Structure 1
């Protein structure tokens, strides 16, 4: 039976039973109703809260939600065709956080005055990046998305399980939603330093959305967030970065835990429920860690987003021009496209992303 036929049978079954929510695996990505986090079925051999629901060989996670139907629908958000790239220069930040290698660029002469090549030496986590499913595990079980283990990533038995090149082969395109929390905070007199620990709560994000005219609850709860949306949160890191000297930037980036601190989303049950139940295809922000760093809970949000739910996590995106244009136009949704690196066994990738207004 073809995938289309299976999808139609699933839709008919859901209509007859009156329950659109998926339970039995593998789930149908064309469905419009999915279980909340509290309703997730327990999966044999998987950690609690794991949503490894797209099949035992799945490599895409929430990117499965970016079906042709949803991508086509998202293209309706293009009104002017204005292109806004969201990629920082490869040498920004000058000193990447967490002690990562700096970007090195040299030019090689093939024939003097006739032909030249570039040579790059870089860490894909050094600037605007997607955290891949191989990047961060569920810590207590040391398990990556869909059951991958460290032996799948390095060593004699290494293979391409959860490799980022699968994202490249599938593609990333859909409806983007920007929450400009930094702009909202400035307008409300909320003062904080993005280079210090500052937790952005679910309640604050919801207030930010309300100020922008967006009900950030998922559509299943009566809100404006659609299944397969791509979330962007501006927390002000790039503004703070530009206002610091090179010495200050390097000192901050090279701090070690527990002194390494960044502003970001709060680790809380409300935030986890929202991020899960909205069924975002991916989430991203402008800060080095997306979540407030370090965590004050017994878990990192990275564990849930990457290892348990299979949701691409973007960091260090340049959201400055996008936020400015969204505010000027009064529209905070747009079409977004990203081209991850086609590198077999890759851990992460630069975003290579563009918002189209």
Structure 2
């Protein structure tokens, strides 16, 4: 239940909507077809939820911001298809051969049914070992040990385990909408900004705004006069994949096997978006349906703050989070077209109880 003091005056909102033709999300649960949503600082207080939680789509909602991918928005996104070029964004399932963060490598077996006649596949896959969607069961709000929409660890494993925040909810809804690529790596190279994608480097909101301007995009939401529409799917190219392919197999393995642990024990280091208030406001207020990057962690790793962006993106806001997408070919195609918007579709694995999924995604230009 929301604290009514934190919501706009309903009568005044109705009048404004009548005069402007808008539909403001002011009553819980929010209508995904609304055209105006509260900013992060305007979020209603949800009784029983952590501060800044946006559990606003209903008590039994487990798809979060995917609710924004309404038929109207998906149909509008399809207008971005102009040349018909298909650009997959998935690394091979066995890439990297040695995954980061102590994850198990992908294993593929061929099962012989009848020699020379019929065969099967057997996959052994940690969904976090390569191109991945982080599901809502993956990362909790740490202070309250709560996952999206009140889900607890006991809902995920143990005798009372159930299907709250299971990956199959995403699969049954589907992911399709307008994608936008911010090619930070190309922008940085053009401006002489040097950084190592295999070391901690935080890309700030100010830098992303400059990157967008360089590409001809105002990265503010349309509600603030920018080009980002409600339900857009954000992709940020940091250059990690590019550098990964330039390294030798032994270099890749050594980097992936760096110590992984909390605080000073963390040896895994990666480029990603910065943990800062401006970034939090922007990621929330644009009302992206999902966000994704090309590095093992969407956010700069390890965090230099007392919080992780994963807590906000996954647990508090219910926003799908993609990592290790191959954005190299997409970057080149967008440069050729001088257009950074496209239609994007993804088919997550339909696994009841699943925590994450390989992306199975492609951009259509």
TM-score band by shorter chain is over 0.9
Q: Specify the alignment match of 1:198 in structure 2.
A: 201
Equivalent in the alignment of 2:358: 350
How do 1:86-105 residues align onto structure 2 when only pairs under 5 Å count?
Answer: 86-105=89-108
Residue 17 of structure 2: which of 11, 15, 18 is its match? 15
Q: Give the Cα separation in 1 of the matches to 2:338 and 2:191.
A: 18
Per-residue deviation, 1:21: 3.4
Distance in 2 (alpha carbons) for counterparts of 1:298 and 1:209:
28
* Residue number in structure 1 paired with 2:272: 264
- Give the Cα–Cα distance (whole angstroms) in 2 for the partners of residues 20 and 33 of structure 1: 6
Residue 135 of structure 1 corresponds to 138
Tell me how far 1:281 sits from its aligned partner. 0.1
Residue in structure 1 matched with residue 126 of structure 2 by the alignment: 123
Two-structure CA RMSD over aligned residues (Å): 1.3
- Quick one: which of 107, 125, 130 aligns to 2:110? 107
Hey, what does 1:6 align to over in structure 2? none
Q: How does 1:24-43 map to 2 (within 5 A)?
A: 24-43=27-46
Q: Name the count of aligned residue pairs.
A: 347
Distance 1:149 1:223 in 2: 37
Asked if 1:293 is matched to 2:293, the reply is no
DSSP-derived class of the 2:344 partner: strand
Task: Provide structure 1 residue ranges, at least 5 long, that are not aligned to the other structure.
Answer: 1-10
SS in 1 for 2:101: helix
Q: Match for residue 207 of structure 1?
A: 210
After superposition, the Cα gap between the structure-2 partners of 1:145 and 1:212, relative to the gap in structure 1 and judged at 3 Å, is same
2:183 aligned with 1:180: yes
1:318 aligns with 2:319: no
Matches within 5 A, 1:50-61: 50-61=53-64
Aligned equivalents of 2:107 and 2:329: distance in 1? 26
- The more displaced of 240-249 and 91-100 is 240-249
Whether the aligned pair in 1 keeps the contact of 2:17 and 2:24 (CA below 8 Å) is no
Between the aligned partners of 1:14 and 1:340, the Cα distance in structure 2 is 39
Name the counterpart of 2:335.
327
Indicate the larger mover: 57-66 or 256-265: 256-265
CA contact (8 A) 2:29 2:57 kept: yes
Partner of 1:7: none
* Residue among 75, 78, 85 paired with 1:75: 78
Local SS of the residue matching 1:119: strand
